[in-house]
Amino acid sequence: MIGALRLFTYLIVAIMLLPIVVTGMIAFTSVDTVVFPPPGYSLKWVGGVLSDDHLRIAILRSLGLAVLAAVLAITVGLPCCFLVERVLHRGRVTAETVITAPRMVPEIVFVLALLIFFEKIRIAETLTGLLISHLLICAPFAFRTLAASVSALDRRLEWSSDILGATPTRRFLLVVMPQMKTALISALVFAFILSFNNVTMALLLSAVGERTLPVEMFTRMHVGGMNPVVPAISLMLALIGGILFIVLDRTVGAFSHLSGRA
């Protein structure tokens, strides 16, 4: 029974890795076109990712946007967690539903609504608009991850510190924050990943000259300008993503974190 289960699981693992494996093979091609299997192997495309100007700028733009969106998502989300978990008793479920509502609307519907609204208030195709759209994806997610951790806090430690005369600021920084360390790290990292990988929002809301990395890749694939630099950057992203997950799983327990609050 367990043997059959293991066999099936490894079959699925193989299928999950298959697209990355063929991408990786093309990334090491020696020719200038995307062909499978590559006629010869070389390191020129993988080594040349950062010398592609458009790609490099797109990577930096995506990184900056994702860091900003993740930090803002935590800043906006964390106070709400305390309020919802501790102050609101009756309206808790309602408040949680309202805050996580953007995640329930299909992406294409949400992005269209944002597009026509941004056109109306004239922030379409600006980085501000793009940042707001990414924040709308990250903030509800950060809220959910952090809210679970706030409700799991040991209140007795806070009462003790209160009795011992700590001010609210000290209590927050020295008693509450250390308990929430893992939740904060995983919320930050997952919010970053959500923003960094988002194609849907960025495709319609970013300006032509200010593409994020996924949009740049999409454009090269779908519109034109395809060369083996796309599989090369894909392979790197896949490796970084895989390593990031493994590190997170061994340190803060990424899988259990995600499966508790998916």
186 contributes a contact to other proteins by CB under 8 A: no
| 167: number of Cβ within 10 Å | 10
Residue 33 binds other proteins, judged by CB under 8 A:
no
Q: Report helix, strand or coil for 173.
A: helix
Q: Nearest distance from residue 57's CB to other proteins, in Å? A: 17
183 part of the interface to other proteins, by CB under 8 A: no
Which tokens belong to 99?
């805050």
Taking the C-alpha atoms of residue 235 and residue 22, their distance in angstroms, rounded to an integer, is: 10
Shortest distance (Å) from residue 181 CB to other proteins: 20
Among 59, 69, 80, 175, binds other proteins (CB under 8 A): 80
* Complex with other proteins: residue 107 or 210, whichever CB lies closer: 107
**What type of residue is 105?**
V
What DSSP line would sit under 57-79, residue for residue?
HHHHHHHHHHHHHHHHHHHHHHH
- Residues 149 to 168 in contact with other proteins, rule: CB under 8 A: 165-168
Q: How many residues bind other proteins (CB under 8 A)?
A: 89
User: If binding is defined by CB under 8 A, does position 180 make contact with other proteins?
Assistant: no
Q: How far is CA 216 from CA 27, 57, 94, 192, 213, in A?
A: 17, 10, 39, 18, 5
Give CA 22 to chain center in angstroms.
24
- Interaction with other proteins in 34-53: which residues (CB under 8 A)? 34, 36-37
Nearer Cβ to other proteins, position 206 or 234? Answer: 234
**Closest by alpha carbon to 66, among 143, 123, 127?**
127
Residue among 68 and 136 whose Cβ is closer to other proteins: 136
83/174 with CB nearer other proteins? 83
Contact stretch for other proteins (CB under 8 A) within 15-23, 42-50, 151-159, 173-181: 15-23
CB of 181 within 8 A of CB of 101? no
194-233: which residues touch other proteins (CB under 8 A)? Answer: 196-200, 203-204, 213-214, 217-218, 221-222, 230-231
Rule CB under 8 A: say whether 182 interacts with other proteins. Answer: no
**Choice between 5 and 156, CB closer to other proteins:** 5
Cβ distance to other proteins smaller for residue 172 or 179: 172
Comparing CA positions, the residue from 221, 185, 187 lying closest to residue 203 is 221
Count Cβ atoms below 10 Å from residue 22 Cβ, excluding itself. Answer: 13
Smallest distance, other proteins to C-beta of residue 151, A: 16
HSE (CB half, 13 Å, CA atoms) of 22?
9
Residue number with CB closer to other proteins (45 or 196) = 196
Residues 95-134 that bind other proteins (CB under 8 A): 98-99, 101-102, 104-109, 112-117, 120, 132-133
Using CB atoms within 10 A of its CB, is residue 48 exposed (0-12), middle (13-18) or buried (19+)?
middle
Of the chain, the end-to-end C-alpha distance in Å amounts to 29
